């Protein structure tokens, strides 16, 4: 019996010592695991800190990069051919030019952003200013020297973000290369107004009431615009200008709406310009008032057909005040010569066209386009700073343009085009002088064959 | 003008057209301007990324429509410009 008790005691003691050893091991293992875990946590925190620092660096770089620049560059060659009514033909061929645009964008906060465009536009090896290149609406729009003009500089300020957001646009406006020039220019809408009635640089204020939310229609908005066609001032602004003439004030109302499909636009507008000036050097006068009514419609890639189409129609109603300026020894008034008449003169014009994108992937989907416009005897609009040198949309007669666009990559393309302008009446694009049937040595036909390389990045 | 009447009639036809890339993007909660063009291209080149954004379940036609929309409206795409836009 004693032997049994002894044996049991020895066995229990052995088991206890073994158990103590196992607990010790386990305890050591737990300590080791805890150490590893804390090291892992520590390295994780170090990694997080490093990642946060790197994100901070990127965020800082973005925050101090106040203005985002994009680039547009164009090299172009024009070949002009003229024919007078009495059959004399002349040429101005192989005219090369460069145009550089630096577009700027800056988001100041959620309710304010800035947009701008700095432009150089010049003929090769020529620093002379094209006629009118220094005039306000034509700055950057006509070849000049290698200097930079500010073509656009405006702030969009969201005053309220209620169901009808109201936005005020102050400054040198997005008023050039408007709808539907984007098809030919191989881009998207680049201006507020129909290019049949308005094209050029312009300073002003535009109040936009965005109706998208209340109407649930993309692009629906009403705009009221105010600007000056001419502002008289003294060279020494603190002195009264004794020989001043009245400022020309421009006020417009515009209604825009999309038509379900993206890239579609319907715009209807009425613009009043009072105290229009003759712009004649040394004899600048207020020559009358005018109204300009425009309606336009355009579709991009209509029903996924690769076809883009547009049509514009406008009516100008000129009211001369009977005052004339003296221009090259002749008296000229608003669409009339030396006349005291104040009779309203009505003009009209239309412009339509189409562009087709060829589904040839191997050729980067080239495009072809056709445009036609016609203006009658008294047609007058505000396209002096036009998309191209010929100001074809001001034609008192008809103009046809065909073009081919060959994309090189996403950002660059080549355009080959031909413009054929047939003038019926004189003075296209000018507010002074009586338009008369083209005769004798007056310009009857103008053709331009052009080729251009364009990069927008 | 006759041409305006024709274009207006076409607009009605267009209004009955197919689901747009914008609709698909809205349904998937995708914001086109949240990425640059190259980033969207990368998304459509990687099944994992498409799966993450729910694009993998779309038909090939819808994928193409969506891709075109996202690229055309990417952060660095050619944006329309007008006063107050």
Residue A424's nearest CA partner among A437, A441, A443 is A437
Q: Quote the domain boundaries for residue A114.
A: 69-456
Judged against a pLDDT cut of 70, whether residue A345 lies above it is answered with yes
- Cα A302 to chain center, whole Å? 22
Sequence-distant (6+) residues with CB within 8 A of A41 are: none
Query: Would residue A399 count as lying in a domain?
Result: yes
Query: Would residue A187 count as lying in a domain?
Result: yes
Query: Would residue A270 count as lying in a domain?
Result: yes
Q: How far is B83 from chain A (nearest CA, A)?
A: 6
Mean pLDDT of chain A: 92
Tell me the average pLDDT across A254-269: 93
Residues in B touching A171 (Cβ below 8 Å)? none
pLDDT in tens, A325-336: 998 888 999 999
pLDDT of residue A15: 55
Q: Using 50, 70 and 90 to split pLDDT, how confident is the model at A127?
A: confident
Residue A272's nearest CA partner among A253, A286, A255, A296 is A253
Q: State how far the Cα of A133 lies from the Cα of A148, in Å rounded to an integer.
A: 12
Q: Using 50, 70 and 90 to split pLDDT, how confident is the model at A241?
A: low
CATH of the domain at A424: 2.40.160.10
Instruction: Say if B2 is an interface residue toward chain A (CB within 8 Å).
Output: no
List the single residue in A206, A299, A304 with the smallest CB-CB distance to B84.
A206
Query: Would residue A131 count as lying in a domain?
Result: yes
Instruction: Say if B31 is an interface residue toward chain A (CB within 8 Å).
Output: no
pLDDT of residue A39: 85
pLDDT in tens, A405-453: 999 999 999 999 999 999 999 999 999 999 999 999 999 999 999 999 9
pLDDT of residue B17: 47
Residues in A touching B84 (Cβ below 8 Å)? 156, 167-169, 206-208, 210, 221, 223
Judged against a pLDDT cut of 70, whether residue B10 lies above it is answered with no
pLDDT of residue A12: 58
Judged against a pLDDT cut of 70, whether residue A248 lies above it is answered with yes
Q: Which of these ranges, A59-63, A130-134, B30-34, has the smallest mean pLDDT?
A: A130-134
Query: Would residue A417 count as lying in a domain?
Result: yes
Give yes or no for a contact between A179 and A219, defined as CB atoms under 8 angstroms apart.
Answer: no
Pairing of strands A325-327, A203-210: unpaired
Give yes or no for a contact between A311 and A297, defined as CB atoms under 8 angstroms apart.
Answer: yes
Contact check, Cβ <8 Å, A304/B11: no
Contact check, Cβ <8 Å, B80/A190: yes
Cis status of the peptide bond prior to A261, with omega within 30 of 0: no
Q: How far is A264 from chain B (nearest CA, A)?
A: 9
Tell me the average pLDDT across B22-33: 92
Contact check, Cβ <8 Å, B7/A187: no
pLDDT in tens, A9-21: 565 555 555 555 6
- Report phi then psi at A3, rounded to 5: -60, -40
Q: Using 50, 70 and 90 to split pLDDT, how confident is the model at A221?
A: very high
Contact check, Cβ <8 Å, A410/B20: no
List the single residue in B7, B14, B80 with the smallest CB-CB distance to A311.
B7
Q: Which of these ranges, A68-72, A377-381, B75-79, has the smallest mean pLDDT?
A: B75-79
Please give the model's pTM, rounded to 2 decimal places: 0.85
Contact check, Cβ <8 Å, A221/B84: yes
Query: Would residue A5 count as lying in a domain?
Result: no
Establish, for the pair of chains A and B, how many residue pairs have beta carbons separated by less than 8 Å: 85
List the single residue in B10, B20, B80 with the smallest CB-CB distance to A188.
B80
Query: Would residue A93 count as lying in a domain?
Result: yes
Domain count, chain A: 1
pLDDT in tens, A152-209: 999 999 999 988 999 999 999 999 999 999 999 999 999 999 999 999 999 999 999 9
Q: State how far the Cα of B83 lies from the Cα of A166, in Å rounded to an integer.
A: 11
Instruction: Say if B26 is an interface residue toward chain A (CB within 8 Å).
Output: no
Contact check, Cβ <8 Å, B11/A264: yes
Residues in A touching B7 (Cβ below 8 Å)? 297, 299, 309, 311
Q: State how far the Cα of B78 lies from the Cα of B33, in Å rounded to an integer.
A: 11
pLDDT of residue A46: 78
Q: In percent, how much of chain A has pLDDT > 90?
A: 75
Q: How far is B14 from chain A (nearest CA, A)?
A: 6
Q: What is the 3-state secondary structure (H, E, C) of A319-347?
A: EECCCCEEECCEEEEECECCCCCCCCEEE
Of the CA atoms within 13 Å of residue A386, those in its CB half-sphere come to: 17
Q: How far is A234 from chain B (nearest CA, A)?
A: 31
pLDDT of residue B15: 47
pLDDT of residue A339: 82
Tell me the average pLDDT across A292-305: 95
pLDDT of residue B16: 45
Judged against a pLDDT cut of 60, whether residue A355 lies above it is answered with yes
Give yes or no for a contact between A376 and A347, defined as CB atoms under 8 angstroms apart.
Answer: yes
Query: Would residue A40 count as lying in a domain?
Result: no
pLDDT in tens, A129-151: 777 778 889 999 999 999 999 99
Q: State how far the Cα of A274 lies from the Cα of A288, in Å rounded to an integer.
A: 7
Model ipTM value = 0.79
Residues in A touching B13 (Cβ below 8 Å)? 303
């Amino acid at each position: 019996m004693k032997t049994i008790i002894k044996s049991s005691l020895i066995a229990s003691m052995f088991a206890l010592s073994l158990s103590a050893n196992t607990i010790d091991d386990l305890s050591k293992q737990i300590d080791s695991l805890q150490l590893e875990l804390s090291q892992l946590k520590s390295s994780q925190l170090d990694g997080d800190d490093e990642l946060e620092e790197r994100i901070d660096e990127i965020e800082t770089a973005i925050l101090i990069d106040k203005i985002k620049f994009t680039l547009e560059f164009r090299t172009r060659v024009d070949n002009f051919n003229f024919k007078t009514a009495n059959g004399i033909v002349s040429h101005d061929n192989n005219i090369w030019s460069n145009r550089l645009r630096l577009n700027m964008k800056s988001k100041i906060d959620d309710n304010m952003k800035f947009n701008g465009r700095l432009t150089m536009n010049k003929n090769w090896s020529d620093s002379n200013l094209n006629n009118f290149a220094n005039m306000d609406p034509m700055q950057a729009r006509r070849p000049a020297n290698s200097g930079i003009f500010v073509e656009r500089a405006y702030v969009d300020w969201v005053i309220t973000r209620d169901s009808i957001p109201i936005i005020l646009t102050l400054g040198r406006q997005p008023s050039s290369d408007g709808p539907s020039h984007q098809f030919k220019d191989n881009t998207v809408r680049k201006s507020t107004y129909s290019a049949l009635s308005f094209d050029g640089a312009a300073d002003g204020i535009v109040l936009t009431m965005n109706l998208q939310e209340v109407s649930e229609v993309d692009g629906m908005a009403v705009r009221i615009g105010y600007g000056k066609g001419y502002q008289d001032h003294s060279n020494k602004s603190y002195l009264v200008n004794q020989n001043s003439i009245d400022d020309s004030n421009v006020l417009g109302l515009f209604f825009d709406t999309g038509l379900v499909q993206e890239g579609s636009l319907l715009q209807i507008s009425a613009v009043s310009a009072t105290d229009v000036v003759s712009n004649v050097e040394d004899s600048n006068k207020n020559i009358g008032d005018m109204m300009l009514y425009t309606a336009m419609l355009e579709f991009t890639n209509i029903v996924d057909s690769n076809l883009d189409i547009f049509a514009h129609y406008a009516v100008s109603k000129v009211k001369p005040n009977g005052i004339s300026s003296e221009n090259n020894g002749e008296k000229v008034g608003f669409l009339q010569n030396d006349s005291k008449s104040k009779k309203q003169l009505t003009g009209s014009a239309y412009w339509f066209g189409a562009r087709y994108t060829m589904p040839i992937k191997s050729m980067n989907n080239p495009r072809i386009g056709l445009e036609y416009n016609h203006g009658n005897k008294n047609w007058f609009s505000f396209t002096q700073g036009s998309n191209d040198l010929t100001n074809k949309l001001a034609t008192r007669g008809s103009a046809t343009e065909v073009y081919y666009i060959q994309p090189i990559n996403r950002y660059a393309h080549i355009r080959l085009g031909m413009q054929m302008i047939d003038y019926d009446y004189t003075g296209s694009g000018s507010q002074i002088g009586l338009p008369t049937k083209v005769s004798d040595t007056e310009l009857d036909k103008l053709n331009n064959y052009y080729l251009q390389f364009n990069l927008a990045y | 003008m006759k041409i305006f009447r024709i274009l207006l009639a076409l607009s009605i036809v267009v209004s009955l057209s197919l689901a747009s890339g914008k609709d698909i993007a809205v349904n998937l909660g995708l914001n086109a301007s949240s990425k640059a063009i190259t980033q969207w291209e990368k998304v459509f080149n990687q099944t994992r990324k498409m799966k993450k954004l729910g694009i993998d379940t779309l038909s090939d036609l819808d994928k193409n429509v969506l891709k075109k929309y996202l690229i055309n409206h990417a952060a660095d795409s050619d944006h329309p410009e007008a006063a107050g836009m």
